[in-house]
Structure 1
Amino acid sequence: MTSPEITDAELSALNAALCDALNPLASAMRARATGLPEDRMWDADPVEVSLSVLSTWKVVDAQVKRLTAIAAKTAGSYGASYEQMGGAWGITRQGARKKWPEAMDRSAPAEGEASIIELFGGTAELTRDASAGGWRWTGRGADGTCGPESDSATCHATKEEAAAHAGAFLRDHVADSD
């Protein structure tokens, strides 16, 4: 897989979305640092304001790196190679191995064995149900909710399908940020 091209329009929309997401965080961080109300963030020395924005981008950068590592580990858990991950990131296999050393679990279970998914602060276990000829999952979201919630008789045809349902459950049951 090669890195996808991004159009100028997509890049412009991405930049706008990132700035829209950054502004409230920058305002809140600056307010905490200065004691000024958030709505007065821009009423200060331009150097101080631009340094506040820079420090906020550092926070965003750290979160992007964390989420990137999670995505690489998820890809590795589904069987992606370092060569494939490097191709997606536009680096070599060796570069991907160095960037995400934990992305591939060398002790990964065989295709028919149970495995654990950790996403969004929750965990799910995928198990093969030989009697039903498919895969089942059970999980606990970061908010404490256990699943599957209703139809525990659901059996998925493939491990990947069960993992997708488990991942969607974990995504929907993140811990409250309050």
Structure 2
Amino acid sequence: MTLPEITTAEQTVLDKALLDALNPLASAMRARITGLPEERMWDAEPIDVTLSILSTWKVVDAEVKRLTAIAAGTAGSYGASYEQLGAAWGITRQGARKKWPDALDRSAPAEAEPSRIELCGGSAELFRDPSSGGWRWAGRGADGTCDEADSTSYYATKEEAAAHAGVFLSEHVTEQR
């Protein structure tokens, strides 16, 4: 798999989206550290502001690594090989195995066990429905809203149920200032 190149226009849009997403988090983190209101973040010394932004990028970097591992594990659960994972990431098969050692855990018993996902401040349980053999979910969003797959919805895989639960959780986040 050849990795696609990003265009200059796409890079500009990506940069803006990342900075727009980073700013509220950087402001909130700096406010917690200094005890000052978020709207005064930019009133500090330039070195303090830039260091707080750098530490916020570290948080984002850790989150991207976590989400990347989840994506690799999901691809592995659908049958992707380490060679395919490496090609998608632009590394060797061995590099992919080292980066995501658990991505290809194919043990069938664990696949059937219930699991929990946490996303956007909420969580959902994924479980196999005994009557249909399909997968279902039940969750609570960060805003306190509870919901579950309707009684006629059964998903073929745990990952499909997780995707539907993830949509619910992303739609029920707490209000940000």
Relative to structure 1, is the Cα distance of residues 140 and 83 closer, same or farther in structure 2, using a 3 angstrom cutoff?
Answer: same
Relative to structure 1, is the Cα distance of residues 98 and 128 closer, same or farther in structure 2, using a 3 angstrom cutoff?
Answer: farther
Summarize the alignment of residues 30-109 of structure 1 with structure 2, pairs less than 5 Å apart: 30-108=30-108
Give distance in 2, aligned partners of 1:13 and 1:77: 32
- C-alpha contact (below 8 Å) 2:73/2:104 kept by paired residues: yes
1:140 deviation in Å?
A: 2.9
Relative to structure 1, is the Cα distance of residues 108 and 41 closer, same or farther in structure 2, using a 3 angstrom cutoff?
Answer: same
Q: TM (normalized to structure 1)?
A: 0.77
2:20 counterpart SS class = helix
Relative to structure 1, is the Cα distance of residues 108 and 95 closer, same or farther in structure 2, using a 3 angstrom cutoff?
Answer: farther
Relative to structure 1, is the Cα distance of residues 177 and 101 closer, same or farther in structure 2, using a 3 angstrom cutoff?
Answer: farther
1:137 deviation in Å?
A: 2.1
Task: Provide structure 1 residue ranges, at least 5 long, that are not aligned to the other structure.
Answer: none
Number of residues of Structure 1 aligned to a counterpart in Structure 2: 165
Give distance in 2, aligned partners of 1:68 and 1:33: 28
Give distance in 2, aligned partners of 1:142 and 1:100: 29
- C-alpha contact (below 8 Å) 1:147/1:169 kept by paired residues: no
- C-alpha contact (below 8 Å) 1:141/1:169 kept by paired residues: no
Corresponding residue of 1:149:
150
1:70 deviation in Å?
A: 0.6
Give distance in 1, aligned partners of 2:128 and 2:28: 41
Relative to structure 1, is the Cα distance of residues 86 and 116 closer, same or farther in structure 2, using a 3 angstrom cutoff?
Answer: farther
Corresponding residue of 1:169:
164
Q: Let me know the Cα RMSD of the aligned residues.
A: 2.9
Corresponding residue of 2:137:
139
Relative to structure 1, is the Cα distance of residues 92 and 128 closer, same or farther in structure 2, using a 3 angstrom cutoff?
Answer: farther
Task: Provide structure 2 residue ranges, at least 5 long, that are not aligned to the other structure.
Answer: none
Give distance in 1, aligned partners of 2:72 and 2:97: 10
1:141 counterpart SS class = strand
Q: More displaced, 82-91 or 100-109?
A: 100-109
2:42 counterpart SS class = coil
Corresponding residue of 1:25:
25
Give me the identity figure in percent. 58
- C-alpha contact (below 8 Å) 2:127/2:137 kept by paired residues: yes
One of 112, 121, 124 as aligned partner of 1:122: 124
User: Which structure's residues are more often helix, by fraction?
Assistant: 2
